[in-house]
Chains A and B, each alone.
Chain A
Amino acid sequence: MNDLELVERFQKGDEAAFNELVLRYKEKIYWTARRFLQDHDEADEVVQQSFLKAYKGLKTFRSDSGVFTWLYRITVNTALNVLRKQRAREFLGIDELTTETGPESDRPDEQYERREEKALVEEAIRRLPEKQRTVFILRFYDQLSYEEIADILNTSVGGLKANFFHAMRKIEEYVKRVQGP
């Protein structure tokens, strides 16, 4: 059964059809949220909130964009809201500015270097402006086409390639600057 058929069944009161949509997309939704927030618990809450919003919204869903695109849009918006709230908390001095959790051991073994490199990548992505970060995640990690991204973000394809390019270049510069040439 395709997505739209599931939606139609759900709109007629079939709760199992909604469950099927959740099962179908939960992992994709989770990973997108996780890329944005870089934290499992935060990502988990975004998954729950996104599906809750979808549950409410699907009752009146019209098929002008695909179900999946629509779900993605909800997830991206929800994740961005959490990010903004984090910044708001930092802004108000409620949270410390996000800092890297230090390595558990300072032995220069491979595992340590790997952890350090991962933290570096996350920091590079965290430093991106919101739109570049969004386009980068959807393009690089989710491997969506520019057309799909444009649909999700409700924007034109035009600027997206430049957003992606600038994001990639900033990540490259940051990683090289910290890691050395």
Chain B
Amino acid sequence: MSRGHDHIEQTLTDFLAGGLNDTEQNEVQTHLDSCPLCREKLASLQETIAVLERNRDSGVPEGYFGTILPRLRQRIDRPRGLGRLLDLRWPQWAAPLAAAILVAGLLTAIPLTTRETPDLAALTRELEADDLADAYFDALQTSAVPVTWPDDPINGTVAGLDLSNGVLNLILDENVLQELGTVEDLNQEEVETILRQLETRTLL
């Protein structure tokens, strides 16, 4: 008995790579021997793989790999903890940004009362940006905030036009929030844009 085209088609790449066990490999081969349609698909797939293979290599600056460890050690060995915080790690706009994120969360958290709000002032004094973002997201976990991020680029573009909702979802997206957590990575323009979008948002 041979299984259908769809099943065979799904295994063709693994078949080509020799990644199937003997039984499966035989099953696919038997099907191919008697099915012109799947043979055609196999040929087409082989072409695509050839295209991928001949474009596999990308250039790397000469000597690059030798630089990874020394630069990493530099980052690891620089001052940490309180010393690092005092070392002007928080630009003047970091606190407003954190506040804006908190406000965005408060506006959308439903129901508000089931959730403990982190003491932002205390957090900003004691924690690094990463930790703040984590703590805030932990607090959000218990509230029912719909967080969606369209994978499809077309939907993504359409959603991108709907800034009032979109920006909010964006900011509440776990992963983006973690990124925002490293506030020193954002430039002034980015922060201002986010703050502006938050300001234009009307209350529920």
Task: List residues of chain A with CB under 8 Å of any chain B CB.
Answer: 19, 22-23, 26-27, 30, 34, 38, 40, 44, 47-48, 51-52, 55, 80-81, 84-85, 87-94, 97, 114, 117-118, 121-122, 127, 129-131, 140-141, 143, 145, 161-162, 164-165, 168, 171-172, 175-176
Q: Which of the residues A48, A90, A94 comes within 8 Å of B75, measured between beta carbons?
A: A48
Is B76 engaged at the interface, CB distance under 8 Å to the other chain?
Answer: yes
What's the tally of chain B residues with a CB closer than 8 Å to chain A?
Answer: 48
Task: Note all chain A residues with C-beta closer than 8 A to B73.
Answer: 19
Contact across chains for B72 and A121 when beta carbons are under 8 A apart: no
Contact across chains for A84 and B56 when beta carbons are under 8 A apart: no
B interface SS class: helix
Taken together as a complex, chains A and B put the C-alpha atoms of A23 and B67 apart, in Å, by: 11
CB-nearest residue of chain B relative to A45? B185
Pick 26 A–B contacts, CB within 8 A, sort by A.
Answer: A26-B65, A30-B68, A40-B59, A40-B60, A48-B72, A51-B68, A52-B72, A84-B176, A85-B179, A88-B176, A89-B190, A91-B156, A91-B160, A92-B190, A93-B193, A114-B55, A117-B55, A121-B55, A129-B151, A162-B10, A165-B9, A168-B48, A171-B52, A172-B44, A175-B48, A176-B44
Taken together as a complex, chains A and B put the C-alpha atoms of A93 and B166 apart, in Å, by: 12
Contact across chains for B68 and A92 when beta carbons are under 8 A apart: no
Compute the total of residue contacts between A and B using a CB distance below 8 Å. 107
Q: A40-B61, A141-B56 are in contact. Are A26 and B68 (CB under 8 A)?
A: yes
Taken together as a complex, chains A and B put the C-alpha atoms of A121 and B55 apart, in Å, by: 7
9 closest Cβ pairs, A-B complex: A129-B151, A172-B48, A118-B55, A165-B10, A121-B55, A85-B179, A26-B68, A84-B175, A91-B160
